[in-house]
Structure 1
Amino acid sequence: MQKELLTKNYDYELPSKFIATTPVHPRDHAKLLVYDRKNDKITHTTFKHLLEFLPEGCDVFLNDTRVIKARIFGHKKSGGKVELLFNKPLDAHHYLVLIRGRVKIGTQLFFDDALTATVTNFNKDGSRIVTFTHQGKEIRFEELVLVLDKIGHIPLPPYMQREDNKEDETDYQTLFAKNAGAVAAPTASLHFTEELFSALKKRHPTHKITLHVGAGTFKPVEVEKILDHPMHSEYFHISSEAAKVLESNKPILAIGTTVTRTVEYYVRTHKTHGECDLFLNPHNPPQRVTHLLTNFHLPKSTLIMLVSSFIGREKTLQLYQEAIEKKYRFFSYGDAMLIL
């Protein structure tokens, strides 16, 4: 198991042409790699055939977080330009953000619609803590989201290397997005069309939980040993109805890594809300999630390590190599994999 502890062993070569910068339309025409662990069998199909592979009697869990327009552009009093990426609220009035542009404690940043941010603290990881005022008044998160919806941009992952457009406002949002707070989409759910999602609900009990995906999801593992990685935390909420299912012995399909971490955090702590900082990897495998639907993830990321917690590092890299050979599209707008 020593190989599983080293970050370098989760690396793989991906030709840039396989990085998806736009989604497939219709959504369910994305490719789907199905891996049956019991029979060690790989099937190549498309997402619209997902239901043909799901076991009977399986409950499905989804993440209903909504991506906010977390990226805003403004200037300092001196006129210097700045870019701010909202991450999450820390309390009623303080927010964790990333800022591109030189600032110090006390610096004020000015944005459209009379939104102002004041830097109150620095963190060692490069993030900043700010307060926001709107038209001269301090505002809470619920009000801030409305302002960001007017002036902000969808925070596309950096590896897409393009600016967001009008289509991303729909494409980078799930059909059932409800609770505002994420800065990245739960991408496995992006493949559902209205028709396919309706068919899923008819065949399988579905349950929605919330985990507000933070900017830390894109943070690479930069330490030599994976267990030394400081895992980011993200706010989650699980309803009492969903918790009852988790306490049962029903088989569970987690739609995405965010759902997986939330479910597994609940199993370990029995907390229904708070901050989830669970790091799943081959040394900390899943205890409750039976099946996983997910996209193809970045090399040396906590997400590829999560997939490895289900099927092992070597099998994960083998499946990724096969996906490359079959010309699958990778990352947020890319194709999907179902682990049974």
Structure 2
Amino acid sequence: MKTKEFFFDLPEELIAQTPSERRGASHLLVLDKTTGKLTDSSMEDFASFLPEDAVMVINNSKVRKARAYGISGSGGKVEFLFLEENADQTWNVMVTKSKKQKSGKEYVFHAPDGRIGASAQIIRENPDGTKTVSFNAPITEAFFQECGHVPLPPYIKREDTFSDESRYQTIYARPEGSVAAPTAGLHFTGEILDSIRERGVQVVPVTLHVGPGTFLPMRVDDIEDHHMHYERYEVPEDTARIVTDAKANNRPVIAVGTTSIRTLESAWDSVHGMLTPGQGRTNLFITPGFTYRVANHLLTNFHTPESTLLVLVSAFAGKDLIFSAYHHAIERRYHFFSYGDAMFIR
């Protein structure tokens, strides 16, 4: 399929620049993928659309303040996005003005009060366009808390603020490691989760640390030529047992977000009919024709044109139904992307 087949026109004013005034107050568009019926609702009523006795899988990865600014020896300001720490305590990063950032270049990172928080040097330029940097001393999460910024996506045309530290984070975020939020989970409040559990739905976590594999655009003519970056995931023992039992007993499985569904499909063992516990890495790119083996329902946001995420949801519900739902959402003035409204495909 051609990448351009996944393009749609979106009025700029429908790209959410801030979260809803109150967490959980977003609109919800419900799509029945069997009949094509669309229902306009709200996240506060999400539980009423769920099948009883289901299992709902959430991604509990926490967003790291992974965007930091380094000053080069010539005084230039370079934006770094810290993707992943390597075993030798170096870091893989994405940088602005990438072609000018060569091996051997050095940078200093300042804290808000002007102190030097750390200094680093590019030691390797990688085939995927990322760089590997080595610090003068190993950095910890304290470096990101002191020197880092919330890594808001580029279509949010403003600087991050203090409120983004909580709103660009799910309420159940635990292990740090993502450089973008698993945005479907941003809609949940404690009250909404309680209403889900009261309906008899078990809520269980997986962890997928969101990286470029999730958010990088497709820059190819044919989607089959796009290659995903690897992302780290973990499936806890309890989650694996509960999901495996659900599938064995024909209980519905609800995935919250594209990262949860990619984790489930990556860790599913078709030979033994079970979800495999433990850690792994995945570059799974789900395209139309893919057979979903685990999730029956999907809660997700509205995604960017020509993105792997839009391709994934098109594979889940059918491209025609998804585009019909998106056109409906545009007509009804839903808000799109990370801080936008939600869509439930059942």
TM class, shorter-chain normalised? over 0.9
Cross-structure match for 1:328:
334
Cross-structure match for 1:308:
314
Q: CA deviation at 1:72?
A: 0.7
| 1:36-83: CA deviation from partner (whole Å, max 9, x where unpaired) | 123332110111000010011110100111101111112122322222
Distance 1:39 1:313, change over 3 A: closer
Deviates more, 1:100-109 or 1:328-337: 100-109
CA distance in 1, matches of 2:243, 2:313: 20
Mapping 1:171-320, distance limit 5 Å: 171-203=167-199, 204-248=201-245, 249=247, 250-268=251-269, 270=276, 272-320=278-326
Cross-structure match for 1:7:
3
CA distance in 1, matches of 2:290, 2:9: 26
Q: CA deviation at 1:132?
A: 2.3
CA distance in 1, matches of 2:38, 2:76: 54
User: TM-score with structure 1 length normalisation?
Assistant: 0.93
Cross-structure match for 2:63:
67
Q: Is the 8 A contact 1:209 1:242 kept in 2?
A: yes
| 1:218-275: CA deviation from partner (whole Å, max 9, x where unpaired) | 2111111111101111110000111112323131100100000000101158463121
CA distance in 2, matches of 1:216, 1:154: 19
CA distance in 1, matches of 2:49, 2:260: 20
CA distance in 2, matches of 1:16, 1:194: 32
Kindly indicate whether residue 158 of structure 2 is the aligned counterpart of residue 127 of structure 1.
no
CA distance in 2, matches of 1:311, 1:271: 27
Q: CA deviation at 1:130?
A: 1.1
Cross-structure match for 1:339:
345
Q: CA deviation at 1:285?
A: 3.3
User: TM-score with structure 2 length normalisation?
Assistant: 0.91
SS at 1:208's partner residue? strand
Q: Which amino acid aligns with 1:106?
A: G
Q: CA deviation at 1:120?
A: 1.0
CA distance in 1, matches of 2:135, 2:337: 33
Q: Is the 8 A contact 1:26 1:193 kept in 2?
A: no
Distance 1:14 1:92, change over 3 A: same
Cross-structure match for 2:28:
32
- Identical-pair percentage: 40
Q: CA deviation at 1:91?
A: 2.3
Kindly indicate whether residue 120 of structure 2 is the aligned counterpart of residue 114 of structure 1.
no
SS at 1:72's partner residue? strand
CA distance in 2, matches of 1:82, 1:36: 46
Cross-structure match for 1:91:
87
> How many corresponding residue pairs?
329
Distance 1:227 1:90, change over 3 A: farther
Gaps of 5+ in 2: 111-115, 271-275
Q: Which amino acid aligns with 1:122?
A: E
Choose which of 53, 71, 83 in structure 2 pairs with 1:57.
53
Structure 1 outlier segments of 4+, above 4 Å: none
Deviates more, 1:26-35 or 1:297-306: 26-35
CA distance in 1, matches of 2:197, 2:85: 33
Deviates more, 1:105-114 or 1:58-67: 105-114
| 1:163-212: CA deviation from partner (whole Å, max 9, x where unpaired) | 11111111100000110000100101111122112222343111011000
| 1:118-155: CA deviation from partner (whole Å, max 9, x where unpaired) | 1111123321111223xxx334xxx2x22101211001
SS at 1:28's partner residue? coil
Q: Is the 8 A contact 2:85 2:91 kept in 1?
A: yes
Q: Is the 8 A contact 1:246 1:263 kept in 2?
A: no
Choose which of 137, 142, 156 in structure 2 pairs with 1:146.
142
SS at 1:29's partner residue? coil
